[in-house]
């Protein structure tokens, strides 16, 4: 591990200037990059361009282009010409953007680099799609040999014009930031470089799979930087996000190793760097193409233990699903306390010491759901289930929090698991207690949690994430379950899990 310097302050700040402005900023996913981050991003480019044709999509006030051009102007090697193309949809920042790029022009002039800037007050998606179509029918290859971006972060509605346009170009994605990255990569020339700061959410998760697979195929990652603290910048979505900076080259040739660095997000935080095998970051065998951010030395043992496990969920005969009861959709069927004709309804608030404690007296969530024809499909037959929270709070020590639903303690033939839970089951039914105990203990272990954090940067634990894990064999899980109580303190639980898994 190398300590490679410090960040003065890495958090992305919303420039708050009144309510209307704030609303507009949210609508546009507008968060300007602080200078120190822009400079760090600019420092990641490696090429010594003969001519630089830079794309800045979602340019804001031009902080990113300015950082790169400033760096080039003070470097020993200077390109013969610089041209910048900046897209920005918000007319109210265009003047400032022009000023920044004019200033860049003056800086280039001072060091003798011919310079041109094109500012386009346009929607980047609407502008890029026709360009891609033209490329498809012309022999001319794309012109940009570098792109720098802090793309807007916002969901794209499935019926919006942007979504239809993207679909027409074969891009299936539901967030603006991945749409921008997908378009940028298509507009880049072979071997061009991209540096971008984005939420970490695309590194795993089912929604981003088409984007991720496409991006990883087209681009070779060269460097990843992880911000360990969850920035306010991306908290608009309910899922708190961690941010990453990525540096990638448009080539099919992947490097042997890449540098993964991290910093905490606090002012003056250290940047820790390590070199990691490309195949450890993205396993060629992984159909989901998760991106593992092994930014800390302490992550390495967890990764090797998890990789050594030989069973898949399928080998164990198990499946994992998301709780079927979406409470706001079943509102009229919910009851605060159990009554005749209801089934237990289980929420994360019922987790207590490794087992479900139900009903909960003082609970904001309902304890029961009417069991009738209308709710039949939402309920499962009672049995022993291992439950995992789908969302953990920032304060929670572990990302993966598991607990056992024991039907001997909770009456009734049916049970409802709310949508904020995932549940492990055996073809829709419960599992044996010996297996459930071992599975819950394994899921609650630090080794699993350390591994999980390498590919999951937010507080959401998807069923897909749990499906993608390697598991101990049934015999190993049963041995773990027989030796340790799921509700044991972390150290005791870890000792038993480690003893079994390390052989
Ligand atoms: C996260 S901000 C980053 C701004 C600037 N690149 C920076 O780093 O400071 C994203 C920018 O994209 C702009 N934007 C949002 N949607 C856009 C679109 N469809 N086309 C072009 N720009 C867009 C926003 O107005 C905002 O200025």
Domain ranges of the chain: 2-297, 319-496
Mutate which of 88, 92, 179 for ligand 1 pocket (most atoms within 8 A of beta carbon): 88
Report which secondary-structure segment, H or E, holds 480.
helix 474-483
Atom 16 of ligand 1: nearest residue by CA position: 28
Residue with the smallest CA separation from ligand 1 atom 12 is 58
Give the Cα separation of 481 and 476 in Å (integer).
Answer: 9
Separation between Cα atoms, residue 85 and residue 68, nearest integer Å: 13
Cis geometry, peptide bond prior to residue 228 (ω within 30 degrees of 0): no
Measured distance CA(417)–CA(345) in Å, rounded? 6
Helix or strand or coil: residue 56?
A: strand
Alpha carbons 145 and 193: distance in angstroms, whole number: 6
CATH architecture type of domain 319-496:
Alpha-Beta Complex (3.90)
Left if phi > 0, otherwise alpha if psi is -120 to 50, otherwise beta: which for 164? alpha
> Residues near 103 by Cβ (< 8 Å), separated by ≥ 6?
66
265 lines ligand 1 (CB under 6 A): no
Q: What is the pLDDT of residue 230?
A: 56
Task: Report which ligand 1 atom has the smallest distance to the Cα of 123.
Answer: 20
Number of H helices, E strands in the chain: 15, 21
Per-residue pLDDT, 12: 46
123 lines ligand 1 (CB under 6 A): yes
> Which pLDDT score is estimated for 369?
97
**Cα(383)–Cα(344) distance, rounded to whole angstroms?**
12
Nearest protein CA to atom 15 of ligand 1, as residue: 28
**165: which 2 tokens?**
């346009």
Strands annotated E in 20-126: 51-57, 81-87, 115-120
Closest to 177 (Cα-Cα) out of 107, 278, 246: 246
Cα of 90 to ligand 1 centre, how many Å? 8
Does any ligand 1 atom lie closer than 6 A to the CB of residue 49? no
CATH superfamily of 2-297: Vaccinia Virus protein VP39 (3.40.50.150)
Residue with tokens 């190398």: 2
Positions of the chain with pLDDT under 50 = 1, 9-17, 232-240
319-496 shares the fold of 2-297? no
Each residue of 280-308: pLDDT tens digit? 899 888 888 999 887 777 677 888 899 88
Residue 464: CA atoms inside 13 Å, Cβ hemisphere, count? Answer: 15
N-to-C CA span, the chain: 28
Residue with tokens 């209801």: 342
Residue 385 makes CB contacts below 8 A (sequence gap 6+) with 404, 405, 415, 417, 423, 424, 425, 430, 431, 436
């Amino acid at each position: 591990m190398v300590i490679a310097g410090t960040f003065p302050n890495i958090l992305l700040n919303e420039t708050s200037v009144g309510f209307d402005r704030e609303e507009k900023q949210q609508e546009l996913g507008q968060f300007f990059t602080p200078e120190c981050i822009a400079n760090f991003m600019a420092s990641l480019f490696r090429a010594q361009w003969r001519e630089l044709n830079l794309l800045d999509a979602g340019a804001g006030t031009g902080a990113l282009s300015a950082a790169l051009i400033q760096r080039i102007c003070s470097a020993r090697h200077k390109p013969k010409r610089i041209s910048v193309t900046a897209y920005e949809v918000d007319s109210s920042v265009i003047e400032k953007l022009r000023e920044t790029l004019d200033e860049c022009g003056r800086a280039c002039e001072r060091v003798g680099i011919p310079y041109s800037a094109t500012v386009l007050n346009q929607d980047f998606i609407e502008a890029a799609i026709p360009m891609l179509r033209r490329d498809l029918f012309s022999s001319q290859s794309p012109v940009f040999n570098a792109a720098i971006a802090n793309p807007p972060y916002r969901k794209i509605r499935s019926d919006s014009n942007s979504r239809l346009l993207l679909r027409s170009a074969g891009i299936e994605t539901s967030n603006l930031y991945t749409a921008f990255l997908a378009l940028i990569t298509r507009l880049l020339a072979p071997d061009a470089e991209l540096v971008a700061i984005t939420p970490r959410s695309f590194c795993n998760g089912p929604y981003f799979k088409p984007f991720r697979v496409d991006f990883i195929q087209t681009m070779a990652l060269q460097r990843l930087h992880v911000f360990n603290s969850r920035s306010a910048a991306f908290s608009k979505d309910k899922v708190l996000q961690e941010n990453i900076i990525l540096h990638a080259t448009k080539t099919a040739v992947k490097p042997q190793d890449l540098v993964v660095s991290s910093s905490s997000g606090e002012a003056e935080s250290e940047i820790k760097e390590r070199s990691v095998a490309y195949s450890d970051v993205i396993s060629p065998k992984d159909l989901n193409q998760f991106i593992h951010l092994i930014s800390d030395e302490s992550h390495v043992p967890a990764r090797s233990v998890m990789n050594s496990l030989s069973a898949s969920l399928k080998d164990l005969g198990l499946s994992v699903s998301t709780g079927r009861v979406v409470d706001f959709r079943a509102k009229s069927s919910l009851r605060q306390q159990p009554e005749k004709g209801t089934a237990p309804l289980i929420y994360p608030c019922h987790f207590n010491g490794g087992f479900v404690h139900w009903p909960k007296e003082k609970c904001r969530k309902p304890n029961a759901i009417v069991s009738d024809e209308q709710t039949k499909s939402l309920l499962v037959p009672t049995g022993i289930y291992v439950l995992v929270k789908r969302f953990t709070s920032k304060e929670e020590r572990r990302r993966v929090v598991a607990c056992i639903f024991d039907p001997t303690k909770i009456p009734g033939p049916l049970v409802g698991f709310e949508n904020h839970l995932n549940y492990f089951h055996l073809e829709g039914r419960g599992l044996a207690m010996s297996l459930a105990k071992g599975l819950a203990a394994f899921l609650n272990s630090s080794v699993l949690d350390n591994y999980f954090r390498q590919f999951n940067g937010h507080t959401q634990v998807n069923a897909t994430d749990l499906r993608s894990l390697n598991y101990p064999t049934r015999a190993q899980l049963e041995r773990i379950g027989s030796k340790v109580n799921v509700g044991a303190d972390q150290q005791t639980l870890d000792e038993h899990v480690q003893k079994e898994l390390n052989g």
